[in-house]
Structure 1
Amino acid sequence: MSDQKVKVTQVKSTIGNKRGARESVRSLGLRKIHQSVVVDDNAVNRGYINRASHLLTVEVVQGSDAS
């Protein structure tokens, strides 16, 4: 894929969710509510995001300001 990045923010707690959703959020590098990370837009990260989409918000990051 391209060098596009996405900003992922955790908006809900992982408590009470299934193990797969909890592990997907952790794999993205999120530990706390309202924490954000910028990750590559690839198939692996999209899978994590889809698995826990009810806990996250996603924004596409434009240009080189992703660093």
Structure 2
Amino acid sequence: MAEGKKIRITQTGSHIGRTDDQRATLIGLGLNKRHRTRELVDSPEVRGMINKVRHLVRVEDDKAA
């Protein structure tokens, strides 16, 4: 299976005081503390998760892919 385009996601906001589903979404993205970064495959599922917590993360497109 060929890998698709990658995106870099960095958590910029805290999960404190957020709803349970937003906390679960951050964990699903592999983020649990501020300033943590993950590289994930750009897919509709990941984009949907990012949209749910867009106020808590920064997204960068990977130029090398």
TM-score in terms of structure 1 length? 0.86
Residue 3 of structure 1: aligned partner: 4
Q: Tell me, which stretches of 5 or more residues in structure 1 are unaligned? A: none
Range with bigger deviation, 38-47 or 2-11: 2-11
Query: Would you say how many aligned residue pairs link Structure 1 and Structure 2?
Result: 63
**Would the aligned equivalents of 1:3 and 1:41 in 2 still touch at CA under 8 Å?**
yes
CA RMSD in angstroms comes to 1.3
Q: Tell me, which stretches of 5 or more residues in structure 2 are unaligned? A: none
Amino acid at match of 1:60: D
Matches within 5 A, 1:42-57: 42-57=43-58
Give me the whole-angstrom Cα distance separating, in 1, the residues matched to 2:9 and 2:18. Answer: 18
Paired-residue identity, %: 33
